[in-house]
Structures are given as structure tokens and as C-alpha cells.
Amino acid sequence: MKKIILLLILSLNVAFSQEKKTEKSDIFYYTQVIDDSNFANKEFKLTFAVRIENYLENSKLDIGIIEKDENRKYVEFTSIYDDNIRHKDWKVYELKGVFKPNSKNFMLGIICRNKADFYFDDINLQVKNSKGKWEKIKIKNSGFEEDIDINNWNYELKKGILVDSESFTFSHTNNKPYKGKSCLLIKGGDILGSSSKGKTVDVNGVSLYYEIYGEGEPLLLLHGNGQSISAFKEQVEEYAKHYKVIIVDCRGRGNSTYQDDVELTFDVEIEDLKQFLDKINIEKTHIVGWSDGGILGILMAIKHPVKVDKMVSMAGNIFPDGLINKEELLDYVKQFQDLNTKHQYDKIIDFLYLDYKYPNLEYEELKVIKSKCLIMAGDKDEIKTEHTVKIFENIPNAQLAIVPNATHYLPRDNPKLFNEIILRFLKEE
């Protein structure tokens, strides 16, 4: 929630005889080792042709060069990370950079996110030699004219295990290649947050994307600041056995739209949610909110009590000083402002300022909450433990769970425990 990361780069190791497993993921990694270790301090340029079909708002791709040191530790990923590659026709991109002085190992990396048909062709890498001339570096099967060899292109490697996302496939295809007879197709299928079950509804000046699973009493799941519906991939299936689970992308996140000319505040988001529930005919719902979603759960219980049955707030705060490292948010703002030459990070800066400035409740304001509430946090959370305890103490009908050896990311890191606690609370009389 609080730390928004520009690029998610997991440690990649080169090995092809590892144990392989399949897991759910909204991200697909496709990498190739470049067989040369003499690039340090040299200029490079990477060109490639890309087109995308059947994409959604949150469909994104990332392509570039991964650099590692002699111990294979990550050094740099120079890449084109986009919100704007939305071309159904081929477009050629050029990426320029200079390899870091301590880089010894290099990989060409492609990262695809969410549901779309991602097409790639004619990938070329050139490095400037000591005489100032550009030399072409061999990329195996760079035009994807041959069958894809797993020994040349490989999945992400995580902790020594070859990880395959069950939501993606990759192949070479003869569907309108840029050059030659075929190209690479990475196809993202139905993924939580990018599903054929997805719908949109217009509320409060934006279009909100949502999905519904299961039957029974309504249960609304609210994600954190830098998250989207997919944050609850470890919860939805289990909760849907017992409830009608409603998951929604808050404005500007996932597949929901944004208003650049309206300040992002929690009050604006609360009005979004109130109108959203009205539009989909939900009179009253349980709420489970994580991080900023926990803030929204608390505010819904204060401002729209008739809409809220039971409410869980996992790692929510009611004023910015409840954060352990509030001032770090300004450091992130500066980093993104320095990169924001084309206003491509305006939204991320808005999201950071949201948590730096808001909400601004007083503990006394919590006393009006009538819903039965569970206030949660990890004992190693980004929210001050004493702040979480004070929130609990000021809500009349509340329970408290400070989970031992748990961080802000308990729903992701230990979903079995988190889900057990939530479901037990929701089923209590």
C-alpha cells in the first residue's frame, strides 16, 4: 500500500534443470541470457516491434535489459515500462542506455501483466565498441521464426524453482508478423482483476471495474493504495464458498478510470463506493479492507453505517502520523517527480500524496461506529501498533488482532491464517 514500486523485478538466475511449479499470477516473465560479459560501461540500444490486442486498462508490458553483477545480484533493468503501448498495429520502439560498470551478466527481459494478446517481433540489440561503432549482439531466435526453445527463453526463476504462470501461454504465431513468417505471442487469459466476469459501472465521474464471485451475503473486498483487485487472489476463492464476494478497483487503479482534475481523497473514494453499491443494488454488505482499503472500511462505517454489516480493517490508519515512516512518502514523491518528464507518473504521485495528507480523523470520531468490527495489523506492520490499538479502543463493538511475526502484507504472505481469522469473525453471531 504505502510503498509503490515502479518496477517489480524478482531475482532471476540462469538454470534449466530446476524443479518446476505452476502458480496463479497476473505477471509473466520471459527472459533470455545474453552470452557476453564484456558490456560494462558501454552504450547500447535495443529495438523491438510490439503490438497488443484484446487489452484492458491494466494490461501492461515491460521490455528491456536486465543487468547483474558477478555474483548474479540485480544491478539494473533499463526498460520501457508503459501505460501507453496500446497499438493494435505494429510499432517499433528504441531503448538506449549505458551498461553499469559493475555489470557482468545480462539478460533480455519481457514482462507482461494481465489479460491481453502481446505480440513481439524483430528484437535487435547493438552495443557500441571501443572504436565508436555499433556492433549487433546475437539474440537467439530474435525474429521468432523458429520454435521456441525453453533453453533459450525461460520462465522466471524464484528460489530455485521454475515458476510458470497458469494464466499465460507463449508461442510463435503467423498472425500478422512484423517481419518474416511468424512472431512471438504472449497471451494473458482470465486473471483475477482481468476476467471475463468483469463489469464496469459509472459512478461519481469515473468508471469502476468490478467482479463478483459466489453466492450468499455480500462481502466487499477493498484493496490498498498501490494495489487492485488482484491483491485478493489468495482470498476470493475461499471467501466465495461462503459469501457473494464483490471486488472492485478503486478509481485510477486496475481497470477503473481516473479524474486528473479532481484531488484524490478518501472522501471522494467513499462517495465512489456508496454510489457503486447503490448501482449494483447492494443495500448492506460486510467489508474486508486491506491497508487503504482498511481506511475506506472505517470511513464507510462512519459515513454510511446503513451500508455496512461487519467490517474488517487490516492495517488501516485514521491519520497520516499513524504510519511508521510517513516521511518516506515524500522521498518516493521526489523520485517519481524526477522521472515524470512526460507526466506519465502523475497518478502515482497523487496516490502517494493521498497517504501523506489523508485521512484526518480523530479517535473520538470512531465512537459513532455501530458495526461489529475487527481491527487487525501485523506486529511488524507499517502502521504503528499503538495506533492500531487506539483505533480498536475507540470503536464500541470491536475486536483486536495483532498477528505475531506478521507484516503489512499478511493477506499475501500468510493467506491461510488471514483467511481463517476473517471467516471466523464474519461467521460469529
Angle between helices 328-339 and 346-357 (to 10 degrees): 160
Query: Do the domains spanning 19-188 and 199-427 agree at the CATH topology level?
Result: no
Determine contact, residues 400/392, Cβ cutoff 8 Å.
Answer: yes
Topology of the domain covering 19-188: Jelly Rolls (2.60.120)
State percent of the chain over pLDDT 90: 69
Q: Which long-range contacts (CB under 8 A, 24 or more apart) does 32-37 make?
A: 32/107, 32/108, 32/139, 32/140, 32/152, 32/153, 32/154, 33/105, 33/106, 33/107, 34/65, 34/106, 34/107, 34/108, 34/125, 34/137, 34/139, 35/138, 36/106, 36/137, 37/104, 37/105, 37/106
**Amino acid symbol at 333:** V
Q: Answer with the residue of higher pLDDT: 151 or 170.
A: 170
**Amino acid symbol at 214:** G
Residues 162-179: tens digit of each pLDDT: 445 678 888 889 999 999
Lowest mean pLDDT among 28-32, 117-121, 228-232, 417-421: 28-32
CA dihedral 20, 23, 26, 32 (to 10 degrees): 0
Cβ neighbour number for residue 392 with a 10 Å cutoff: 20
pLDDT value of position 199:
96
Topology of the domain covering 199-427: Rossmann fold (3.40.50)
pTM of the model: 0.82
Residues 44-65: tens digit of each pLDDT: 999 999 999 998 888 888 899 9
Residues 383-396: tens digit of each pLDDT: 999 999 999 999 99
CA distances for 5 relative to 133, 329, 336, 429, angstroms: 36, 12, 10, 41
Residues 76-123: tens digit of each pLDDT: 888 886 556 778 899 999 999 999 999 999 989 998 888 899 999 999
pLDDT value of position 3:
34
Instruction: State CA 343 to chain mean position distance.
Output: 20
Q: Where are the domains of the chain?
A: 19-188, 199-427
Mean pLDDT over the full length of the chain: 89
Determine contact, residues 409/343, Cβ cutoff 8 Å.
Answer: no
